[in-house]
Amino acid sequence: MEFLGDRVLGLVVSQHLYETFSDWAVGHLSKGHSRLVSASSIEEAARGLVLGAHLRLGRGEELTGGREKRNLLADAYEAVIAAIYLDAGLQPAADFIRRTLLESEAGGERSAWSEPDHKSALQEWLQQRGLGIPQYRVVGESGPDHSKIFSIELWLQDAPMASSEGRSKKEAEQAAARMALVRLRKEESARSPAEP
């Protein structure tokens, strides 16, 4: 079911971006698409629907926190899309995706989709220099369930690089990645010899 749901999701997101942002270049549309159908975006949509509470899990998955696992939540969201598509057709499935993912993901705002993906930019920068993969750690949560604030630390090579807060884990991770990238670029610039 998640296989079919993934394809329906990709089609709906592609059409939405094409119709909404017809002035965007293909590369920009592709980046927007990748961001919207990423596991982290789909996970947030699944959490918004509290899908984890409705999963049927084996004992092992239950004991290891399966209801909170990103991949299981993303698969469940895609399976729901497939079920709607098979039961009622493309339009109801598209309406569900718009309501639960597209509108909540960007608040219907063009600017939210055109913001840079700092996590990807940081990872590319680090890979080009052979500096490893950043780790994002949740170090705190505050506020009621419907309005949580997440505190995230970004670690690189067993050392903290940046920390941030956000209304979602993804928002906090993006902010921490932006701060880490700014810091790393400054440090690299300071080490480079001055040009004549």
3-state secondary structure of 64: coil
Report the 10 Å Cβ neighbour count for 1: 15
Q: Which two structure tokens, joined as six digits, stand for 154?
A: 């970004």
Is there a catalytic annotation at residue 158?
Answer: no
Per annotation, catalytic residue among 2, 44, 75, 78:
78
Is there a catalytic annotation at residue 23?
Answer: no
Distances, alpha carbon 178 to alpha carbons 25, 116, 149, 193, in Å? 24, 9, 18, 25
Q: What contacts 60, CB < 8 A, 6 or more positions away?
A: none
CA 9 to the chain's CA centroid: 15
Q: Which two structure tokens, joined as six digits, stand for 13?
A: 């997101």
Catalytic residue list: 6, 78
